[in-house]
Structure 1
Amino acid sequence: MLKKIFISIMSVGIVLTAAGCTVAKDTKSNNGKINVVASINSVRDFAQKVGGDKVNVTLLVPEGTEPHDFDPKPKDLEKLANADLFVYSGAGMEDWVDSVKSAVGSSEKLTILDASKNVDLIKSDGKTDPHIWLSLKEAKNQSKSILDELIKLDSKDKSYFEQNYNNFAKELDDLYNSNKSRFASLANKDFVTGHEAFGYLCRDFGLTQKSVEDMFAEGEPTPKKQATLVKFCRDNNIKTIFMETLASPKVSETLANEVNAKVEKIYTLESKEDGLDYVQAMKKNLDKIYDSLKK
Structure 2
Amino acid sequence: MKKITAILTSAVIIISSLCGCTSAPAEDSGKIKVISTIFPYYDFARAVCGDKAEVSMLVSPASEIHSFDPSPSDIIAIQECDIFLYTGGENDVWIDKILESMDSDVRAIKLMDTVELSEEKLAEGMEHDHDDNHDHDEISYDDHIWTSPLNAITITEVITDALCEVDNENAEIYRTNCKAYTDEIKRVDEEILQITTAAENKTLVFGDRFPMLYFTERYGLDYRAAFEGCSTETDCSAATMAYLIDYIRENDIKAVYTIENSNQNIARALNEQTGAEILTIQSCQSISKEDFENGETYVSLMERNADALRKGLN
Normalising to structure 1: TM-score of the pair?
A: 0.89
Give the superposition deviation at 1:162.
Answer: 0.9
Rounded Cα–Cα distance in structure 1 between residues aligned with 2:299 and 2:94 = 28
Aligned equivalent of 2:310 = 290
Counting matched residue pairs gives: 286
Question: Is 1:257–2:253 an aligned residue pair?
Answer: no
Rounded Cα–Cα distance in structure 1 between residues aligned with 2:118 and 2:28 = 38
Aligned equivalent of 1:213 = 227
Aligned equivalent of 2:39 = 41
The 8 Å contact of residues 149 and 189 in structure 2, kept in 1 or not, is answered as: yes
Rounded Cα–Cα distance in structure 1 between residues aligned with 2:28 and 2:117 = 35
Counterpart code for 2:112: S
Counterpart code for 1:291: K
Give the superposition deviation at 1:232.
Answer: 0.9
Rounded Cα–Cα distance in structure 1 between residues aligned with 2:20 and 2:178 = 34
Distance change in 2, residues 1:95/1:10 (3 Å): closer
Give the superposition deviation at 1:38.
Answer: 0.3
Rounded Cα–Cα distance in structure 1 between residues aligned with 2:239 and 2:15 = 50
Rounded Cα–Cα distance in structure 1 between residues aligned with 2:243 and 2:53 = 49
Task: Give secondary structure in 2 for the equivalent of 1:97.
Answer: helix
Counting aligned pairs with the same residue, the percent is 25
Normalising to structure 2: TM-score of the pair?
A: 0.84
Question: Is 1:165–2:178 an aligned residue pair?
Answer: yes
The 8 Å contact of residues 34 and 54 in structure 2, kept in 1 or not, is answered as: yes
Aligned equivalent of 1:100 = 98
Rounded Cα–Cα distance in structure 2 between residues aligned with 1:21 and 1:36 = 24
Counterpart code for 2:305: N
Task: Give secondary structure in 2 for the equivalent of 1:162.
Answer: helix
Counterpart code for 1:178: E
Task: Give secondary structure in 2 for the equivalent of 1:123.
Answer: coil
Q: Deviations over 1:68-101 (max 9, x none)?
A: 2111121110111121111012343434322332
Q: Deviations over 1:127-182 (max 9, x none)?
A: 21111111110001111111111111112222111111111111111111233223
Q: Deviations over 1:236-262 (max 9, x none)?
A: 222322122344422222222222223
Structure 1 residue runs without a partner (length 5+): 24-28
Structure 2 residue runs without a partner (length 5+): 122-138
Q: Deviations over 1:86-127 (max 9, x none)?
A: 101234343432233234x212x2111112222111103532
The 8 Å contact of residues 112 and 145 in structure 2, kept in 1 or not, is answered as: yes
Which deviates the most, 209-218 or 247-256? 247-256
Question: Is 1:31–2:29 an aligned residue pair?
Answer: yes
Distance change in 2, residues 1:12/1:157 (3 Å): same
